[in-house]
Amino acid sequence: MNFEMARLDNIDEMLKIEKKSFASHWNRQTFLDEFSADNGHYVVAKESSRIVGYSGFRYVLDEGHITTLAVHPKFRKKGVGTKIIERLIADAKEKGLKKLFLEVRQSNSPAQKIYKRWGFKVIDRRREYYQHPVEDALVMQNDNF
Ligand SMILES: CC(C)(COP(=O)(O)OP(=O)(O)OC[C@H]1O[C@@H](n2cnc3c(N)ncnc32)[C@H](O)[C@@H]1OP(=O)(O)O)[C@@H](O)C(=O)NCCC(=O)NCCS
């Protein structure tokens, strides 16, 4: 598996994974906005030139906010998500960030397992943060990487 910075011509492939991954998913415009933001950092993971997953963060000063993480259903449970977050943390470190935050559905134990593995801790809960279905978000933070 190799990593590349996400590019505009990756969006079609990313949208297919996005739709399979989230009930309330990003649309093309959201990807365009995220990729064109000067404080955005998005990576795609590729296997034999096919995109198998992606993630990214926005950052302000020394704090980053992981905004998404998705792995193609056919490539799940093979460690791809774990490797993507490892890579993202390395990128955050290289940029001089000191803290990373994210929100995750309280029922999403696969994602939480990955984040905890890489040092994220639950610091807060946002009531009914998600729709479809309505669910609380756990806010997680990593300030030790
Ligand atoms: C969450 C997600 C990114 C995980 O990707 P992945 O590549 O399958 O993750 P990994 O293979 O690195 O697995 C991480 C751990 O979770 C476990 N796991 C993954 N999917 C699981 C599932 N459906 N049920 C139970 N455990 C699961 C794995 O076994 C692994 O644990 P282990 O290392 O102890 O065996 C992927 O399921 C996904 O894209 N989900 C939909 C989008 C989403 O929820 N994104 C997160 C938003 S915060």
pTM (2 decimals)?
0.97
Give, to the nearest 10 degrees, the angle between helix 80-94 and helix 109-117. Answer: 40
CA of 78 relative to ligand 1 center, distance in Å:
8
Active-site residue flag, 115: yes
What pLDDT score was predicted for residue 98? 98
What pLDDT score was predicted for residue 73? 98
CA of 22 relative to ligand 1 center, distance in Å:
13
Q: Which atom of ligand 1 is nearest to the CA of 78?
A: 11
Stated as kind and residue range, the H or E segment containing 83 is helix 80-94
Give me the percent of the chain exceeding a pLDDT of 70: 100
What pLDDT score was predicted for residue 70? 98
Question: Which CATH class for the 2-142 domain?
Answer: alpha beta
Q: Whose CA is nearest to atom 29 of ligand 1?
A: 77
C-alpha triplet 68, 26, 108: angle, nearest 5°? 45
Q: pLDDT grade, residue 140 (50/70/90)?
A: very high
Active-site residue flag, 18: no
Backbone angles phi, psi at 61, to 5 degrees: 50, -120
Query: Which residue out of 115, 129, 130, 135 is catalytically annotated?
Result: 115
Q: CB–CB of 66/101 below 8 Å?
A: yes
CB atoms within 10 A of CB 30: 15
Average pLDDT, the chain: 97
Query: Which residue out of 103, 128, 130, 135 is catalytically annotated?
Result: 103
Q: Whose CA is nearest to atom 24 of ligand 1?
A: 110
CA of 113 relative to ligand 1 center, distance in Å:
8
C-alpha 136, offset from chain centre: 18
Dihedral over alpha carbons 14, 6, 25, 64 (to 10 degrees): 150
Encode pLDDT of 43-99 as tens digits: 999 999 999 999 999 999 999 999 999 999 999 999 999 999 999 999 999 999 999
Stated as kind and residue range, the H or E segment containing 65 is strand 63-71
What pLDDT score was predicted for residue 122? 98
